[in-house]
């Protein structure tokens, strides 16, 4: 069994790993040279996170072409005690899909494609390596909309999106990935294929095993295929940006807008975030000056035949204006304008801030205003003048925070994490709304989960992966 | 440790159980006489299923007033190896909440009530013993609608509805119970309280433990409290009954109606079902003669301000009529008429059929027509002239079947089950859409779940309940 340092984060290949060649050979002999790439030949993209230096070079890269390939890989790794990291599109932000020292990578990129679409039931059957956007486009072509959308749609894979229970901007309407999954197939640590490819919305026959694999970041099994729920096709959306006086009024606006069943997105930008992106997003003219107040992006899209989305959203906004909830509103009159509003909200501009650290937390919607105040105060108390920008999908309680420190090293990064998570913990929130735990948030899991919960998670992990070969060092 | 016969179904108290008094005494000494009722004093309703002879008398009845009472009960039972059946409102149809020989009953009826409502986040925190209708009424009073509704609303308890992942008539719009649960608290077999009372829609911090307890029928833990999602308040619904030529057209009508985001229910009645209930439901005038074709009940309800539900549904129906999908339609013009349509659909009239056996299966929506034909053919082949009536929530693939045999005994009942489930299995459907497995469907679990799935279920059961004290003999 190879030496496996669960605490190792990054570094060069472990020179002490004398059996490295053996792993390559064993894998090639089991799966063939087409499926397995030797350590020295692995392209750095398989071990380099976005905007980071390369991590440890994996011992081997396995790129299965079938479920059976996945099964045989795991059966072999189980026998040898060889840890495996399943890899999707590598768009996660918690570094959950990168190898730690001495691990092999199992990339699902070749097991890809739509297997079938059932129009009457409204389901699509897909392979894990299929990019989200391919699923969205296949759904559209068949007269449907897929319920999850997020910025990384072109690169992220459906298997990774399920393994991390991805959220995105439409969760208030359609839920997260978990709510899209009707059936799932996964391979257990010992290579057993557990196929629960139900195509029904209702199926109460014993334990709902798919739930084990959704959101557990590849630590309990490797997802190979899924049956996903499709939604009736949405016509072109209407998009608007509103100026709102304060967070309490943002909440009142949300309480009113959520009653409109076709509101797809409700995204809030705190004043300092809006000011920053408004003046730093190239080629985008912010719809109104952001000197004061919050900006709220609202998207409305309906599948109802014959409904004019723009007219409906306009009426909703007029109504909210009358009620004194909105100070100003801009309704996009072109796709370009709508795209610009989204560019502001996506806030890629803040990536240019020095030493940016991103947070992704959740609290009950009504408490996010107080949270932001307390969090900012705690940061200012420790680092006077620190830049912290708040924005997010507040309808589902999720806020993102971009924090920029003048100076950053591992000790300061840890102190920054602890400062933010202490406020989250004190207010009973969650330290990861949609990005998962991975490696980066693992030290802070106990800020959100109790000893009893973590102990039960460990019990599940031990039951499903007794040799700890599935993505060890992640989550737990 | 008491002798526990996992295969025992019904009968008188086991005279061989010499330590019966000891269990009573141990429980009373741990919890007090207020919480524990001795075997001889237990009211028969705690061990008598609807329309059945009394089952075995439990060794004791525990009615906790707190989470701590539940915890201490389980810790003691774990120590003594004493099996426990958690009990809600006893409205389940798979006999999952009744004691087998030698068990004690833990009824949640005293741990009841709404703990809080968060209007901004749209959540309600409730105790397991709270009746569904109480939750619905509290939601309405706070300006919301609860997403699940079903016939037993007045008696069934929220804990039982979660433990069985109840479905009902609004699943096409809001999902089953699983999709309503944001946070959950449960007590493990050893008495550990695992509290995951998240109030956020998005929370990806490690394994989603609540999923273990939802739908596992009390075999992995006992649910004590929950945070449930609320939906914007729906205005009064509009209800209509349509006559549709055949099942293929019912599916086309469904494909059209599901695009209207506020359709809450879409219920189909096969011709023979509609004929039967139309002529056997007292005081109800069927909206049209059911000589031919299917009857479809459609309910539309919206939270959108200023929308006239009846007008909208009428327009949808006119549109479907134009498209040739509907032969005739009746729009309810009073609450009484709407209630009558639901009375027909609920079909209590069929309870009067001799030796009625109910089935609750699911298949992809488009395949239910073929399924009904094959199922009826298989039944007629074995029992010429047999009455089998099909109806259900076809939008989510769920169909119920009422079968009436001239003669019924255990052997024939088993043969009947096998006849129906063989067709379900052959077509890749599920033998329990919403009623769960309990005791009644346990012998047939393998019709729907593979060996690998059942083996994984057993692994979970062993990890969470190694002494098999939690509702043994149910599900697995």
Predicted confidence at residue A50, as pLDDT, reads 80
Predicted confidence at residue A123, as pLDDT, reads 97
Q: Is A230:A126 a contact under the CB 8 Å cutoff?
A: no
CA distance A399 to chain B (A): 10
Q: How many Cα atoms occupy the beta-carbon half-sphere of A396 within 13 Å?
A: 27
Residue B196 tokens read as 């995951």
Contacts of B260 in chain A (CB under 8 A): 303-305
Closest B-chain CA to A439: B206
Give CA–CA dist A287/B159, Å, rounded: 49
How do strand A144-145 and strand A231-232 relate by DSSP bridges? antiparallel
Do B216 and A205 make contact, defined as CB atoms within 8 angstroms? no
Contacts of A207 in chain B (CB under 8 A): 212, 215-216, 220, 456-457, 460, 475
Predicted confidence at residue B292, as pLDDT, reads 81
Contacts of B319 in chain A (CB under 8 A): 305
Q: How many Cα atoms occupy the beta-carbon half-sphere of B204 within 13 Å?
A: 34
User: In the 8-state DSSP scheme, what is residue B430?
Assistant: B
Nearest to B176 among A202, A214, A260 (CB): A202
Give exposure, B275-299, as e/b (b: 16+ Cβ within 10 Å).
bbbbebbeebebbbebeebbbbbbb
Closest B-chain CA to A210: B211
Q: How many CB pairs under 8 A join A and B?
A: 275
Task: For B2-94, list the strands marked E by DSSP.
Answer: 36-38, 60-62, 84-87
For the cut 70, the answer to whether the pLDDT of residue A318 exceeds it is yes
Q: Which fold has domain B20-110?
A: 3.30.43
Q: By the CB < 8 Å criterion, does B194 face chain A?
A: yes
List the beta bridge partners of residue A37: A61
Q: By the CB < 8 Å criterion, does B457 face chain A?
A: yes
Nearest to B204 among A164, A179, A450 (CB): A164
**In Å, how far are A247, B172, B213, B305 from B235, measured between CA atoms?**
28, 18, 33, 9
Residue B341 tokens read as 């349509």
Residue A203 pLDDT grade (very low, low, confident, very high; cuts 50, 70, 90): very high
Contacts of A360 (CB under 8 A, 6+ apart): A93, A398, A400, A432, A433, A434, A435
- Tally the residues of chain B: 476
Contacts of A207 (CB under 8 A, 6+ apart): B212, B215, B216, B220, B456, B457, B460, B475
Q: Per residue, what are the HEC states of chain A?
A: CCCCCCCCCCCCCCCCCCCHHHHHHHHHHHHCCCCEEEHHHCCHHHHCCCCCCCCCCCCEEECCCCHHHHHHHHHHHHHHCCCEEEECCCCCCCCCCCCCCCCEEEECCCCCCEEEEECCCCEEEEECCCEHHHHHHHHHHCCEECCCCCCCCCCCEHHHHHHCCCCCCCHHHHCCHHHHEEEEEEECCCCCEEEECCCCCCCCCCCCCHHHHCCCCCCCCEEEEEEEECEECCCCCEEEEEEECCHHHHHHHHHHHCCCCCEEEEEEECHHHHHHHHHHCCCCCCCCCCCCCEEEEEEECCCCCCCCHHHHHHHHHHHHHHCCCCCEEEECCCHHHHHHHHHHHHCHHHHHCCCEEEEEEECCHHHHHHHHHHHHHHHHHHCCCCEEEEEECHHHCEEEEEEECCCCCHHHHHHHHHHHHHHHHHCCCECCCCCCCCCCCHHHHHHCCCHHHHHHHHHHHHHHCCCCCECCCCCC
Give CA–CA dist A241/A244, Å, rounded: 10
Contacts of B436 in chain A (CB under 8 A): 204
Do B453 and A194 make contact, defined as CB atoms within 8 angstroms? yes
Q: Is A227:A184 a contact under the CB 8 Å cutoff?
A: yes
Q: Is B180:B228 a contact under the CB 8 Å cutoff?
A: yes
Give exposure, B236-254, as e/b (b: 16+ Cβ within 10 Å).
ebbbbbbbbeebebbbbbb
For the cut 50, the answer to whether the pLDDT of residue A11 exceeds it is no
Q: Per residue, what are the HEC states of B141-175?
A: HCCEECCCCCCCCCCCEHHHHHHCCCCCCCHHHHC
Residue A348 tokens read as 């890629």
Do B452 and A303 make contact, defined as CB atoms within 8 angstroms? no
Predicted confidence at residue A15, as pLDDT, reads 43
Contacts of A65 (CB under 8 A, 6+ apart): A34, A35, A110, A111
- Could you tell me which of B410, B289, B408 has the C-alpha nearest to residue B344? B289
| Mean pLDDT across chain A | 93
CA distance B193 to chain A (A): 7
Between A8 and A180, the more confident residue is A180
| pLDDT by 10s per residue, chain B, length 476 | 333 333 344 334 444 444 555 899 999 999 999 999 999 999 999 999 887 899 999 999 999 999 999 999 999 999 999 999 999 999 998 999 999 999 999 999 999 999 999 999 999 999 999 999 999 999 999 999 999 999 899 999 999 999 999 998 899 999 999 999 999 999 999 999 999 999 999 999 999 999 999 999 999 999 999 999 999 999 999 999 999 999 999 999 999 999 998 999 999 999 999 999 999 998 898 888 767 899 999 999 999 888 889 999 999 999 999 999 999 999 999 999 999 999 999 998 999 999 999 999 999 999 999 999 999 999 999 999 999 999 999 999 999 999 999 999 999 999 999 999 999 999 999 999 999 999 999 999 999 999 999 999 999 999 999 999 999 999 99
Which residues 236-275 of B have a C-beta within 8 angstroms of A? 251, 254-255, 258-262
Contacts of A302 in chain B (CB under 8 A): 261
Q: How far is CA B172 from the centre of its chain?
A: 15
Closest A-chain CA to B187: A452
Query: Which of A145, A163, A203 should we substitute to test contact with B (largest number of B Cβ atoms within 10 Å)?
Result: A203
Closest A-chain CA to B210: A211
CA distance B230 to chain A (A): 11
Architecture of domain A117-134+141-232: 2-Layer Sandwich (3.30)
Closest A-chain CA to B229: A396
- Could you tell me which of A407, A413, A406, A404 has the C-alpha nearest to residue A376? A404
Predicted confidence at residue B4, as pLDDT, reads 38
Residue A421 tokens read as 């998570």
CA distance B192 to chain A (A): 7
- Could you tell me which of B122, B126, B131, B331 has the C-alpha nearest to residue B233? B122
Of A15-29, A292-306, B40-54, B318-332, the poorest mean pLDDT is in A15-29
Give CA–CA dist A96/B441, Å, rounded: 40
Contacts of A279 (CB under 8 A, 6+ apart): A286
Residue A286 pLDDT grade (very low, low, confident, very high; cuts 50, 70, 90): confident
Let me know if the fold of B20-110 is the same as that of B238-347.
no
Which residues 74-133 of B have a C-beta within 8 angstroms of A? 118-123
Quick one: which H or E segment has residue B29? helix B20-31
CA distance B181 to chain A (A): 12
- Backbone angles phi and psi of A233, in degrees to 5: -65, 130
DSSP for B241-274? EEEESSHHHHHHHHHHHTTSTTEEEEEEE-HHHH
For the cut 90, the answer to whether the pLDDT of residue A371 exceeds it is yes
How do strand B84-87 and strand B104-107 relate by DSSP bridges? parallel
Q: Is A438:A474 a contact under the CB 8 Å cutoff?
A: yes
Contacts of B398 in chain A (CB under 8 A): 200-202
Give CA–CA dist B241/B287, Å, rounded: 7
Class assignment of domain B353-458? alpha beta
Predicted confidence at residue A290, as pLDDT, reads 63
CA distance A18 to chain B (A): 34
Taking the domain A353-435, which CATH number applies? 3.30.70.2740
Is domain A238-348 classified as CATH 3.30.70.2190? yes
| Rounded CA Rg of chain A | 23
Give residue limits of the domains in chain B. 20-110, 114-232, 238-347, 353-458
Q: By the CB < 8 Å criterion, does B431 face chain A?
A: yes
Do A261 and B261 make contact, defined as CB atoms within 8 angstroms? yes
Nearest to A202 among B233, B302, B397 (CB): B397
Which residues 287-306 of B have a C-beta within 8 angstroms of A? 302-305
- Could you tell me which of B447, B344, B464 has the C-alpha nearest to residue A452? B464
For the cut 50, the answer to whether the pLDDT of residue A222 exceeds it is yes
Q: Which fold has domain B238-347?
A: Alpha-Beta Plaits (3.30.70)
Closest B-chain CA to A145: B259
Contacts of A473 in chain B (CB under 8 A): none
Q: By the CB < 8 Å criterion, does B451 face chain A?
A: no
Contacts of A397 in chain B (CB under 8 A): 121, 199-202
Do A258 and B122 make contact, defined as CB atoms within 8 angstroms? yes
For the cut 60, the answer to whether the pLDDT of residue A57 exceeds it is yes
- Could you tell me which of A407, A365, A418 has the C-alpha nearest to residue A385? A407
List the beta bridge partners of residue B142: none
Q: How far is CA A110 from the centre of its chain?
A: 21
Query: Which of A74, A167, A204, A429 should we substitute to test contact with B (largest number of B Cβ atoms within 10 Å)?
Result: A204
Dihedral sign, CA of A338, A340, A343, A347?
Answer: negative
How do strand A60-62 and strand A36-38 relate by DSSP bridges? antiparallel
Predicted confidence at residue A412, as pLDDT, reads 96
Q: What share of chain B is helix, strand, coil (3-state, %, to 5)?
A: 35, 20, 45
Which residues 369-408 of A have a C-beta within 8 angstroms of B? 393, 395-398
For the cut 60, the answer to whether the pLDDT of residue A1 exceeds it is no
Mean pLDDT of the A87-93 span: 93
Closest A-chain CA to B165: A204
> The tokens 């996506």 sit on which residue?
A346
Taking the domain B114-232, which CATH number applies? 3.30.465.10
3-state secondary structure of B317: helix
Do A202 and B463 make contact, defined as CB atoms within 8 angstroms? no
Residue A133 tokens read as 């956007």
> The tokens 């096998």 sit on which residue?
B418
Q: How many Cα atoms occupy the beta-carbon half-sphere of A10 within 13 Å?
A: 10
Nearest to A434 among B202, B209, B430 (CB): B202
Contacts of A107 (CB under 8 A, 6+ apart): A46, A61, A62, A63, A87, A129
């Amino acid at each position: 069994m190879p030496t496996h340092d669960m605490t190792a984060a990054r570094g060069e290949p472990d020179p002490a790993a004398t059996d490295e060649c053996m792993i390559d050979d064993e894998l090639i002999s089991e799966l063939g040279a087409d499926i397995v790439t030797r350590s020295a030949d692995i392209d750095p993209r398989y071990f380099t996170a976005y905007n980071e230096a390369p991590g440890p070079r994996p011992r081997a890269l396995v790129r299965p072409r079938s479920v059976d390939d996945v099964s045989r890989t795991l059966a072999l790794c189980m026998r040898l005690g060889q840890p495996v990291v399943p890899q999707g599109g590598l768009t996660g932000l918690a570094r959950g899909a990168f190898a730690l020292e001495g691990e092999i990578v199992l990339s699902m990129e070749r097991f890809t494609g739509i297997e079938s679409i059932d129009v009457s039931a409204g389901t699509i059957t897909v392979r894990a390596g299929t990019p989200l956007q391919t699923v969205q486009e296949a759904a559209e072509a068949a007269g449907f909309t897929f319920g999850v959308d997020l910025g990384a749609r072109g690169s992220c894979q459906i298997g990774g999106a399920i393994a991390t229970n991805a959220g995105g901007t439409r969760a208030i309407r359609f839920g997260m990935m978990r709510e899209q999954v009707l059936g799932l197939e996964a391979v257990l640590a010992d290579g057993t294929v557990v196929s629960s490819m139900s195509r029904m919305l209702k199926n109460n026959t014993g334990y709902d095993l798919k739930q084990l694999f959704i959101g557990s970041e590849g630590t309990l099994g490797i997802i190979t295929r899924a049956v996903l729920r499709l939604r009736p096709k949405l016509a072109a959306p209407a998009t608007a940006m509103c100026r709102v006086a304060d967070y309490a009024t943002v909440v009142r606006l949300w309480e009113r807008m959520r009653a409109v069943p076709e509101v797809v997105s409700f995204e809030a930008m705190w004043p300092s975030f809006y000011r920053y992106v408004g003046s730093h997003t190239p080629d985008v003219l912010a719809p109104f000056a952001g000197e004061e107040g919050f900006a709220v992006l609202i998207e409305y899209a309906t599948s109802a035949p014959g409904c004019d989305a723009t007219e409906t959203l306009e009426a909703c906004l007029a109504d909210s204006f009358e009620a004194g909830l909105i100070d100003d509103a801009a309704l996009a009159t072109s796709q370009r304008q709508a795209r610009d509003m989204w560019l502001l909200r996506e806030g890629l501009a803040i990536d240019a801030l020095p030493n940016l650290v991103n947070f992704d937390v959740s609290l009950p919607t009504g408490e996010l205003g107080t949270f932001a105040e307390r969090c900012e105060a705690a940061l200012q108390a420790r680092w006077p003048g620190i830049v912290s920008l708040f924005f997010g999908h507040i309808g589902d309680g999720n806020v993102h925070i971009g924090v920029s420190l003048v100076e950053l090293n591992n000790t300061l990064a840890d102190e920054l994490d602890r400062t933010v998570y202490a406020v989250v913990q004190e207010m009973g929130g969650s330290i990861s709304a949609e990005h998962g735990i991975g490696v980066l948030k693992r030290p802070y899991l106990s800020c959100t989960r109790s000893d009893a919960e973590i102990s039960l998670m460990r019990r599940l992990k031990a039951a499903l992966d007794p040799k700890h070969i599935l993505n060890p060092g992640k989550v737990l």
